[in-house]
Structure 1
């Protein structure tokens, strides 16, 4: 959303809203939206990598390895679709709404994002982690003990790092959503 599209909305809602505050808010909104794109791209690339791996190494029969990869891929695809839908819907609504409807929309959008952050994201993360856990016995038999230890340690460290990053980004977005809700 461009500055030209947001300015009239803010002027309608708050006639005494100063230009510096408007620019700061627009800057934060752009940063939040670009961060959302980065998240979508990273999750999509991970889905592609896992899908290629699954197609290359998946066994002909369904087993815990297939289940683990499917859980990992499914949780990421769900999050990508969810992020894409909320991003698209938000952009489409901003242009057409009256000030009162815009405030109501922000309140609803804020509640939806909280639900995503506090219910859906942890569930997706748990499913993804469980999928990784299901792969470990197969990795143990397929790889040397040294490489298995590397996969085990780096995998759980990566999951922990992603968890920390997700929590940080959630807090940033929630602070931003509280700020625009005022």
Structure 2
């Protein structure tokens, strides 16, 4: 549905909007959706890289290296699925509901999303870190000390940056939910 059509539908409703003007709601929704698509893209690219790495280097024997890669890939894949489901559910409700009902839906949606971010995201992050640490002994024996240190340091820095991005995103969604609940 085009933004103009949605704006016209919501503008034709009662003028006592509790959240914001329709154009601002659409702008916030678009920004949040684009952020989710960016997250999905980054996670998907990482999955592809890890799968290519697994195909090239994982042996047919089941060991910690294979398990580590599987943990990393599955945690990212699970997170991608959650993001897709989240986008689909919210957009299907956006088209189906009027403004006031949609605002109530957003309150529930972001409440559930925050619970998922406080429970599922740390679990996925922990599983990913576990998988990464399971690969480290293989990296240490398979690469030079300098390259191993590069992998170790860049891995830790990358995980820290990702953690900060996730925390910022969760705090932003928490703030938006507070704004919804105040109105």
Mean CA deviation greater in 90-99 or 112-121? 90-99
- Deviation per CA, 1:118-137: give whole Å up to 9, x if none: 11111100110111000000
Taking the aligned partners of 1:99 and 1:154, their CA distance within structure 2 comes to 46
| TM-score w.r.t. length of structure 2 | 0.89
Q: 1:178 aligns to what?
A: 178
Matched residues, number: 180
Q: 2:144 aligns to what?
A: 144
Taking the aligned partners of 1:51 and 1:129, their CA distance within structure 2 comes to 17
- Deviation per CA, 1:58-108: give whole Å up to 9, x if none: 011011111110000000000000100010111011111245643442232
Q: 1:123 aligns to what?
A: 123
Mean CA deviation greater in 92-101 or 122-131? 92-101
- Deviation per CA, 1:28-49: give whole Å up to 9, x if none: 2211111111001100110000
Taking the aligned partners of 1:131 and 1:10, their CA distance within structure 2 comes to 50
Where structure 1 has 5 or more consecutive residues not aligned to the other structure, the ranges are: none
TM-superposed CA distance for 1:171, in Å, is 1.4
Mean CA deviation greater in 139-148 or 24-33? 24-33
**Native 8 Å contact 1:75 1:127 kept in 2:** yes
| TM-score w.r.t. length of structure 1 | 0.89
Pairing 1:42–2:47 present: no
> Quick one: structure 1 residues 117 and 24, their matched pair in 2 at CA, closer, same or farther if it must change by over 3 Å?
same
**Native 8 Å contact 2:107 2:177 kept in 1:** no
TM-superposed CA distance for 1:176, in Å, is 2.6
SS in 2 for 1:162: helix
Where structure 2 has 5 or more consecutive residues not aligned to the other structure, the ranges are: none
**Native 8 Å contact 2:75 2:128 kept in 1:** yes
Q: 1:60 aligns to what?
A: 60
TM-superposed CA distance for 1:6, in Å, is 4.6
**Native 8 Å contact 1:40 1:83 kept in 2:** yes
Q: 1:155 aligns to what?
A: 155
Q: 2:92 aligns to what?
A: 92
TM-superposed CA distance for 1:50, in Å, is 0.3
**Native 8 Å contact 1:28 1:176 kept in 2:** no
SS in 2 for 1:15: coil
Taking the aligned partners of 1:93 and 1:6, their CA distance within structure 2 comes to 15
Mean CA deviation greater in 69-78 or 166-175? 166-175
